[in-house]
Structure formats: structure tokens, C-alpha cells
Structure 1
Amino acid sequence: MKTLSILLAFFSLIGSGSLWAVPAESKRFTPYFNMNMMQGAYLPTKGDFFSGANVNMSVGLLSKIAESHSIFALYDLGFNGEGFRFPDTKEFGSKELSHNFNGEYRWQIFDWFRVRPGANYGFTYSRTAANEVWGEGLYDSKTTGGQLAADYSFDFFNRNAVFTFLGAYRVVKLPNYSDIIREFQGLSSNSELACCLKDTKAMEGTFSFTWNKAFGKIRYLINDFDKEKVVESNGKYGTTAQKDTRVIVNGGFQGKLWIFETSPNITYTQHRSNQNFLLFKSATDIAPTFASSYYNHNELGFAVPLYMNFTKKTALSGVFDYKRREYTNRQPRDGANNFISGELQKNNMVTLTAGLRRKLNEISAMSITYSSVIATSNNKFEKYLPYNYSGQSVAIGYHLTY
């Protein structure tokens, strides 16, 4: 609970908000600061009690260098500690620390049209096992890239509306990643392939629309792998490079009635990959089972949060969150690690959350939340990842926005 002690010390230091008292905002420079810190205790039905922390912090500065020209710089820090996970993704104990730096030039060409070229650099440290050292994780990554966005503003039924298009290109490097099975085989050609297998060229095209208090977005993402090849039915890697694509569609709105506020949203994801899969029953298995298009899936998720503002400083909240993933080709496995013919794998997760939020002053607030999670899947092989479990969690949070 060391992180909780740090949080409490931080609360006592800035709880009054006096440290953030500043002169009137400059017309030329506009600072931005947002931080959310959570410390939680988790009790799953399978496994031991554990605790985990989450920290998300953004520090930015908007500088107006001329009437129609400005520069925006943003630094994001994210830490995702231990916690409940959606089935078939990560272990409860995995951790991730990320740093991202973004710079954007904004040119207001017309009152109704703006362009925003930008560049970004980021690196992520991950720990997927207890014996991994920060900075030496298997999935540590570095990202470098650029983007170009354009905003078109107009009135629609006497309300402001904005169309935005964004195109981005990024180079993602995983310097520590290696394929243990290929290295174990000891073949020179495979040893060469064992390095940098997950390095990719990532491309993104996004179209979004906001109007009044509603929004919608469509994203198309492509990951072209530099060295990772597609495994074939003969049990060997071929000459075709792996390529993954995702289409993500999401939308939502905000509404308010009396003391009640809500912001429901829905997301649909279609993931496609040309990569196949070999199921080894053991390290000495010489005849693995081949599974084609193993990673293709469709995913639907929606969340319905509800807030009840009893006073200007106190609010109760409740959230219903549901997510379902259906694989298009993957068969589930039984407890003995055998594919179950005639079925397709399906994963579900429902999270119910209730909380209390209390404003300390104009810029800070504290919260306490209780969550109940139920995860189910027709996949019964759970030696490495949890698929079927339920659990409870309680978390204390501190929130600061300036």
C-alpha cells in the first residue's frame, strides 16, 4: 500500500488548493493540468487479494503566437497497475507505465476551418511477470510519429458542429521482444527472426463529428509488421508479413435533467489479422494443432453512467459497463487445452460501479467507488489467463484539474 501513503501525503499538501493560486490567465499562454489518481483493493473469486494503483496525468500549454497561429504542447503520464482485466487480454498482476510527448501547430485559416499538424514521441514500460524489471519488459515499446488534422466548423440547427479528419503515421519499436520458442529451436534463421518481431508501422485515419452534446467517431487502423511472418499450416513461418487492421466506431451524448446527469456511449470494434496460430500441448509437442485466422474478432461495448448531484460539491454515481467479444474463427478450449469443435469463443464482462464524489475546492475532488465484476467465457483453459471469474473492488481517488 505504498502508493496509498504517497497519495495521502499529496492530499495533505494540496488539499486547500492554495498551491495552485495563480494570476489571471494570460491571453498569450494558457496552461492545462489534469490528474486522476486511484488506489484500489481487489478481491477475485479465483486467486488472492491484491491492491493496485492507477495514475493519469496531463500537463499542457497553449501558446498563441499570432492572431491565427498557436502551438500546443502536451505531456501525458499514465500508470496502470494491478487490476481486473477483460478475458483474453492481460494477467491481473500486469503493470504498465507510459510517457507521451505531443506537439501541435494550429493554424486558423478561416473562422470555420483549422489545420493541426503535429508530432509525437512516447515510450511504455511494461511488467507482465513478477520477475520482470522496469525497463527490461518483454513488451516495452517506443513510438515516434506525426499526424495531420483538419477541423471544419458550422452551425447545425442553431448549434455549433465540428467535423474533424485526422491522419497519423507512427513507427513502433519493441526492443526487448523475442520469441522464446524460436530461440529455443536454435536455428540461425529463426534466431534472426527472434529479434524485433513486433516492430510495426502504424497508420490511422479518423473521422469524427461533434454537435451540441453528442459525438461520433470512426477510426481505421493498420499495423504492418516489419519482421513477423504468418505461420502456415505446415507448422512453419512463411514469407508473408503479418498485417492487422481495426475498424472502431463509437458514439455517445451527454444529458442533464434536474439533479441527474448521464453520458452513455457505445463502441463497436472489428479486428482482422492474417496471422494464424499453432496450439502446442507441451514444450515437446512435435505435432501442434493449426488454427487459421485465430485473432479475428468483433467486439461490442457500452457504458451507461448516471450522476446525481445532491449539492454543488457532492454527487453519487452509478455505472453499468458491458463488453462482449466474439471470435470469428477461434474455437474455445476445454480444461485440458483441447479445441472444442463446433463452437466459437465468446468472452463477456459486466462491471457495476457505485461511487461518491466530493469537491474539495474549485480544482480538486476526492472519490470512493465500489465495483463488482463478472467475467465469463466458453473457453475453460485458464492456466495462463483468467477467463471466468467474478470479483469486488474498492478504490479511493483524487482528481485535480486546472
Structure 2
Amino acid sequence: MLKANDPSLHSWIQISPDSDFQIQNLPFGVFQAADRDPRVGVAIGDYVLDVYVLTQHRLFDMLDLEDPTVFHRHYLNDFMALGRTIWRQVRDRISELLLNDNPEIRDNRALMNECLLKQRDVQMLLPVKVPNYTDFYSSLEHATNIGSMFRDPNNALLPNWKHLPVGYHGRASSIVPSGVPIRRPKGQMKPADAPAPIFGPTQQLDFELEVAFITGQPTKLGTSLTPEEAEEYIFGLVLFNDWSARDIQAWEYVPLGPFLGKNFGSSISPWVVTLDALEPFRVAGPVQDPRVLPYLEFSGDKNFDITLEVTLQAPDQPQEALICRSNFRHMYWNMNQQLAHHTVNGCNIEIGDVYASGTISGPTPDSYGSMLELTWRGTKPLSLPGGASRKFLQDGDIITMRGFAQRNGLRIGFGEVRAEILPSF
């Protein structure tokens, strides 16, 4: 385990015990402020650490970093391209600089004021330039719920589901960072009692609670990765809201799968939490039965114990209501298997690619990761504080997703991904 994950570490920065951004975390993102253009930052407590400023003061001179301007970019891609050795060197050096007994920044008031900004005073941007986006369908509970809802409950899973990580290629251009509103999409739908399809705004707008991993290294076309090699290519994880228009999706998805019901918008959290930060939270995943084919076999614990929550705030309500509490550990197919399967046919991956988990549902109704499941296709409306109810999402609703891993006094959090639903044009 890396020294940077030691629960006994403390920073000279005052950090609340319930903060997502302890010194053991140090996630990477991209921000801009009134007095500076976009560049790489690291979250620490209530602050953003300007990493480019550190290079300007020669605090990274001892690292194998040839071009410090990789931290003065609009995206993390150029930094990620340097590889895992540099990722770790930079994260460990930042940890060292923030330790309570290190005076390099602590005792230099001018430098401290230059490199530390309050998170409330900056704008967080999309952390990576996304060349490609893939969405998986890897939660057994979610797939079983959907199969039971739309097909035969006794044969909820399709024959291939337990043999491979099902997925599809989504739309990279409509991935947006937390805080960007989502416009209600329009499209074709066919109500059950209608003789022909109709056109208009979706009446079944939904969220999907997901976690996505981002690749920081490329592969060549025609090559593939094993599950054991996969983590050398994964830079880190973000929270992901795969917005869905269920009525549009239901009409269009046969025979080629998701299209307009999915590609109108996906939201991601701005801070990328590294695999190194999450190392203490590895857990075994569900037993995979039947046994997978050899190219999907792996050793060790590849799932992560990350608590996930979703809240809904209606426009006439002053507070948000918790509507889902799930966990990333429930995933039947893990990230290593997803990436191995993605590349087994020779498909090349690129720096900044986003791979979403698919909806993460747990075994109990309050852990279902979508409105479709929480309301069981609208037949069991959710009751909200103040007397409101929801079958699906309405204009003005705000959906917020949060995630954190916590154990033995150590907390590693993701912050949040949040978006308000705007009316259709």
C-alpha cells in the first residue's frame, strides 16, 4: 500500500473529518478561476491546489517530469499520457507537500495564497477530453429487474448476460460536467394504447446511477488486454449519470440498441479519483457462475466498496430527498473484465476514453439505481417530502449523486455530480 494512503497522515490544511477530500485522496480535475485560465488542480479539503503553480515554483524538479506545462492544459489527457509511474510520483509528491510537518508551502504565506483556492471560488470543468464512450450493463440486480419488468421474470437474463460484459458505444460529445443542466429530449414514442408512434418531449425521463473509469494510456489497433493488465491503463474513476428517456428508448432500441433515448446527455463528476487512492477499499465481487471463459479470468479482489447515493430535489421543495443508496461492490462484471472484453477483438483504446458501469442496483428496493426500478415502471410512485410524488423526473427536478469509500477512519470521496432538468425546447 502506498504511503499516501496511510490513515495516520494529516495535513497542515484544516480538513473536516467528513470531507471527501482528505490528504489520502488527492483526486485530479481541471478548473478555472477569475484570475487564471483552465489548468489542473487537486482537491484537498475545501480547497483546490493549483498544480501548475507548484511546477512554477520548482517543487516538482525532483520528479521525472520533462514538461511541466502538462498541468497548464484544458484537460488531464496530456498528464495521463505520461503513464502510471508519473501519476504516482506526482500524487506522492503532492501528499508530501501537504503533510503537516512539511514547511515548503505551509511556511510560505505568499506561495500558499497563490496555489490554494477555495473550491467555492472556482469553476470545475470537464476533466478529460473524451474521444470515446462505452456504457456497460454489468449489475446483476439491475439486469434482473429490467428483464423481470419487460420480459419473463423466470428468465429475466438474456442467454449471454453471465458470459460476457454487455455494453454499447455511446455518444462522447454529449458528456458534460456536474452543474450543466440537462434539457428534456424530444423523440418518437409509441404509447401502449396508440396505433402509431407520436413525437414530442419524453414523458419518462430517468437517471441512471453509475461509476465510470477513464483510461490514461492507449493501446494499438489489433492488440488486447488481459484483466491483469487492465489497471495499468486505468487512470481513475468518476461518478456518472447516464440520463435516459425510457419511452423513446423502448420504441427505438430494437434491433440495434440505445440511440436517441440515451445520447442527449450524460453527466460526470469533475474530480477523478485514482485507483491508488481506492486501494484500501478493494473487495471481492459476486461469485460468477457459470465460470467465465479464460480471457475474462482474474485473480485478487477487483471490486471496490464505494457507497453511492442519489437525491432528488423537486422545484417546490427546499431540501433534497434521498431516494437511493447503493454500492459499487455489487457489480457482477468488474472494470478489469470490462476492459479486457472491450479489447479482446483488437479494438484500440485511447487516452481519455470513458467506460461507464451501467446502472448500479443493489438487492433491496431502496438500492435500485434508476427511477424505472424505484417506481417499478411507474406503477409505484415515489413519495417525496411535502406530499409530492414522482413516477419519472419532471422539469425543474435536480438530481445529485454522491459517492464515498469509508473504512477504519479513512474516507475517500468523489464529491458530487449534479444537474437540473430544463424543459424541452
TM-score range, shorter chain: under 0.3
Normalising to structure 1: TM-score of the pair? 0.21
Please identify the structure whose Cα radius of gyration is greater: 1
Q: Which has the higher helix share?
A: 2
Q: Which has the higher contact order (CA 8 A, sep 6+)?
A: 2
Normalising to structure 2: TM-score of the pair? 0.20
